[in-house]
Amino acid sequence: MSSDENPGVGDDPGARGDARADVLFWRRLASLLMGLQALALGAVALWALALLVIGGSSTVQNDALLGILLAVGALGVGFVARELLRGHSRVRTAALFWQVLLLLLVPSIWHAGNQVLAVGVLVLAVATGVTVVAATSSRA
């Protein structure tokens, strides 16, 4: 009787362990990259709100709204990062949608004269998208 006829017989337990380790690696990496994006959003939100406190803002309403909106976005992206780490594939769409939104910002950043930041956002969005797909596609 060959292992082709009986799928459970003759399986290499080490191969299953390697597959689990690979999935865990991709989940951790995807969560780390999404977490970095959440931290960046949170930092910009704090900066916008700090401008309100120290009086460096010329448009109080705009900066207040920007700070609040970015803080809510940081919480959302942080939630996605946490759920990726836990292995929930249901946040795949949210994570990939966020990466598409980041990619849509790249031309504006580029034309604003900050090519280094544009390339950084591009690389981060593509790398995060790839890791999210790898983390949520395979199950060990």
Residue where the block lists tokens 């949520």: 136
Is 101 a member of any domain? yes
Is 62 a member of any domain? yes
Confidence of residue 63 (pLDDT cuts 50, 70, 90): confident
Choose among 137, 121, 123, 140: nearest CA to 84. 137
- Run of H or E including 33: helix 13-54
What does the pLDDT look like over 105-114, one tens digit per residue? 999 999 999 9
- Answer yes or no: is pLDDT of 3 > 60: no
Is 70 a member of any domain? yes
Is 3 a member of any domain? no
Among 6-10, 46-50, 73-77, 124-128, the range scoring the smallest mean pLDDT is 6-10
Is 4 a member of any domain? no
Q: 62: phi > 0 → left, psi -120 to 50 → alpha, else beta; which?
A: alpha
- Answer yes or no: is pLDDT of 115 > 70: yes
Q: How far is CA 51 from CA 63, 69, 74, in A?
A: 8, 15, 18
Q: What is the pLDDT of residue 56?
A: 72
Separation between Cα atoms, residue 16 and residue 6, nearest integer Å: 17
Is 36 a member of any domain? yes
The overall average pLDDT reported for the chain is 85
Domain enclosing residue 57, as ranges: 14-137
Is 97 a member of any domain? yes
Q: Measure the CA angle with vertex 16, ends 10 and 18; round to 5°.
A: 130
Helices and strands per DSSP (H, E), number in the chain: 4, 0
Domain count, the chain: 1
pTM, entire model:
0.78
Q: What is the pLDDT of residue 138?
A: 63
